[in-house]
Amino acid sequence: MSQENVKPPRGVRYRVALPSEAAGRRRTPDERLFVRFPGLYHLLTGRLMRLPLGSRLRRWYLTSSVARGCAAANRRDFDLMLTGWADDIDYRAVEGALDDHGPIHGKAGMRAYMQDWIDTFDQFKVEPLEVIDAGGDQVIAVLRNSGRAKLSGVETDQTFAVVNTIRDGKIVRGREYWTKEQALEAAGLSE
């Protein structure tokens, strides 16, 4: 078969879950190592993102990274979360959403964005639902946020998707979308 007839894969989907409650309460030994030596984390991520789409090691790494990030958010461990982000990250909440304050730049902006969610909700929780490896340097995470608004007492449970772009082992760009379909389209994987 000639090379021009070979179509690239259209993204690989993986289910993902949070670590057990006990494991999610504190940092694992590898997380402690990554926070202490972030360069090691970026080197490892950069190497693993070069693996072929669908590789078992790449799949394990992506799913465990998303689960690790959600568990860190749930225990308010911003230092661990910041390890995976570039210093000059360019991030955007869903355009037009209540939490959309325009583009978010840098780790300080991301920390403030996450702190705003935690300050607004009691029992704020992030749960990973699915990871879609879009190939190359893009990964889509489908997530669920839940909690009870501190002022109104209204329960919130929303599902959304984030398209992250990874370069040199760091998330350099993130865009949130209301639906998985919108995120797939943004990543060039529309169904």
Write out pLDDT tens, residues 112-167: 999 998 899 988 999 999 999 998 899 999 999 999 999 999 999 999 999 999 99
Q: Which residue segment(s) compose the domain that 112 sits in?
A: 15-186
Least confident of 1-10, 71-80, 116-125: 1-10
Q: Is residue 7 part of a domain?
A: no
List the structure tokens of 149. Answer: 């608004």
Q: Chain-wide mean pLDDT for the chain? A: 88
User: For position 33, which CATH number holds?
Assistant: 3.10.450.50
**Domains contained in the chain, number:** 1
Which residues is 15 bridged to in the sheet? 130
45, burial (CB in 10 Å: exposed 0-12, middle 13-18, buried 19+): buried
Residue 9 pLDDT grade (very low, low, confident, very high; cuts 50, 70, 90) = very low
pLDDT at 10 over 90: no
Q: Is residue 169 part of a domain?
A: yes
pTM of the full structure: 0.88
Q: Are 143 and 16 in contact (CB under 8 A)?
A: no
